[in-house]
Amino acid sequence: MGLLGYFKDSQQVSKQDLEAIEQVVELCDRQCGDCDAEEGAAAIERGEAKFGKLKIEHNASLYGSSETAKIHFVVPTSQTDWARDACEEKKGSVQYKIARWIDKHGADYPQGTGDAIKCSVSSLPIDAMDIDVMRGIKNDVLVLPHFLKIKALSASDVKSQLNKLVPLLLANERDQLLALENIEEARENSFVFLCSHKTRDKRCGITAPILQKLFHQELQPHGLYRDNSDFRPGGCTVGFVNHVGGHKFVANVVLYLKSSHSLIWLARVTPKNVPAIVNLMIVPEKPQLPWPEKVRCVEQYAAW
């Protein structure tokens, strides 16, 4: 179709925004409707019916309505919903200390690709056999877009660890990071995060489980589905996270793709969009974007 064709056909996307998006992800040449699932899929039809009952903001332009992450710390909780201020739910926890460190020191690091250092809690599983993990004072922490994990991070060590690790992460010093005893590679090739924070907005509690089930369904034929007991390398983990902002644009879908070193944050995603996200964005090494009008932000990170 080409950039001019997208500019004519994509509602609420300026030519300047399209050019910025295309710097990170190739725009799909097919009409957006061709990228949607066929209406014969019963699960998708049921999901579309439920989404159709929700009040969703369709008028505002999406691009630039969210910030990309310089570093995104994702803390497992095995939960799908949290208190309104999720990282404050457990005082003294790993996520509490990370969020407080970011509030105090995040602005001290203007370098690096992206807009902000972030912390989220997630539905990723915790080690229920470890009493300190259950108390929240120790946890493994996923670090994106680097696809690394901080192993067994204690809340009491958060300050010293982040003081050491954040400069290395922003400088993309991967070899130095992996030389540390408590840093290891994440086994996944991609992560999809869905906001399920129904305490903040009931719509997210409705949309996230529907989309997760459909993502799992679409990933299975490609051998990319991973559940919590599947430790094979590669694959795609689809998890829930707390408030990401912009609930009025449900559903928000945040993708981190290792092969292309990119972040793609979509909104107004509905069940019929899931097959195209999997087949065009997750499966290929080089993702293609069917709907530039659904993009809130994108980022291209340095390769390692």
Residues of the domain holding 75: 70-185
Q: Summarize the confidence of residues 156-177 as an average pLDDT.
A: 98
Of 135, 134, 117, 116, whose CA–CA distance to 125 is shortest?
134
- Total domain count, the chain: 2
Q: pTM (2 decimals)?
A: 0.94
pLDDT at 22: 96
| Number of alpha carbons in the 13 Å side-chain half-sphere of residue 47 | 24
Are residues 203 and 116 part of one domain?
no
Does 3 fall in a domain?
Answer: no
> Contact at 8 Å (CB) between 288 and 27?
yes
36 has pLDDT over 70: no
In a shared domain, residues 195 and 181 = no
The set of residues, in sequence order, having a beta carbon less than 8 Å from that of 272 and lying 6+ positions away, is 36, 37, 39, 44, 48
User: Is 30 found in the same domain as 107?
Assistant: no
> What six digits make up the tokens of 157?
């060590």
Asked if residue 2 belongs to a domain, the reply is no
CA distances (Å), origin 97, targets 102, 103, 105, 164: 9, 10, 12, 15
Mean pLDDT, residues 199-204: 98
43 and 81 fall within a common domain: no
Is the model's pLDDT at 146 over the cut of 80? yes
Residue 25 amino acid letter = V
Q: Is there a single domain that holds both residue 201 and residue 244?
A: yes
Q: 262 and 251, same structural domain?
A: yes
1 in any annotated domain = no
In DSSP terms, 27 is beta-bridged to 289
Look up residue 104 and give its two tokens.
């105090």
74 and 181, same domain (yes or no):
yes
For the beta carbon of residue 206, count every other beta carbon within 10 angstroms. 18
Looking at the fold, whether 216 and 287 belong to one and the same domain comes out as: yes
Cα separation values, 152 from 70, 94, 136, 183, Å: 22, 10, 11, 10
3-state secondary structure of 115: coil
Spatial distance between the Cα atoms of 294 and 243, rounded to a whole number of angstroms: 18
Instruction: Report yes or no on 77 lying in a domain.
Output: yes
Residue 222 pLDDT greater than 80, yes or no: yes
Are both 198 and 55 inside the same structural domain?
yes
Domain finish residue from 185, 212, 234 = 185
Give me the sign of the Cα torsion angle 199, 200, 206, 212.
negative
The answer on 167 and 192 residing in a single domain is no
Domain boundary residue, one of 164, 185, 206? 185
pLDDT digits (tens, 9 = 90+) for 243-289: 999 999 999 999 999 999 999 999 999 999 999 999 999 999 999 99
Last residue of some domain: 166, 185, 204?
Answer: 185
Q: Are residues 250 and 162 in the same domain?
A: no
pLDDT band at 12 (very low <50, low <70, confident <90, very high): confident
One domain, residues 225 and 292: yes
Give residues with Cβ within 8 angstroms of 176, minimum separation 6: 168
What one-character DSSP code corresponds to residue 279? I
In a domain, 167, yes or no: yes
